[in-house]
Amino acid sequence: MSGSAKSHACKIEISVQEADFDLGALSNQWTDGDVENGAQVMFVGRVREFAQANQQSMTLEHYPGMTEKALRETADIAAERWRINKALIIHRIGELQPADQIVLVMVLSGHREDAFNAAWFIMDHLKTTAPFWKKESADGEGHWVDAKESDDNALTKWDNGSDS
Partner 1 sequence: MSVKVVYFARLREAIGQSEEQVTLPEGVETTGQLKEWLMARGEPWASALSGKRVLVAVDQEHAGYDASVKDATEIAFFPPVTGG
Amino acid at position 20, single letter: D
143 CB neighbour count, 10 Å cutoff:
12
Q: How far is the CB of 76 from partner 1 (least distance, A)?
A: 13
Residue 61 CB, nearest approach to partner 1 (Å) = 6
Q: How far is the CB of 106 from partner 1 (least distance, A)?
A: 15
Which CB sits closer to partner 1, 148 or 157? 148
Q: Judged by CB, which is closer to partner 1: 42, or 123?
A: 123
User: DSSP 3-state assignment of 152?
Assistant: helix
Cβ-based burial of 99 (10 A; exposed 0-12, middle 13-18, buried ≥19): exposed
User: Distance between CA atoms of 98 and 68, rounded to whole angstroms?
Assistant: 25
| Residue closer to partner 1, measured from CB, 82 or 132 | 132
- Which CB sits closer to partner 1, 116 or 131? 131
Binding site for partner 1 (CB under 8 A): 45, 60-63, 65-66, 69-70, 91, 102-103, 123, 126-135, 144-148, 151
Measured from the CB of residue 116, what is the shortest distance to partner 1 in angstroms?
A: 17
How far is it, in rounded angstroms, from Cα 101 to Cα 87? 18
d(CA 102, CA 123): 12
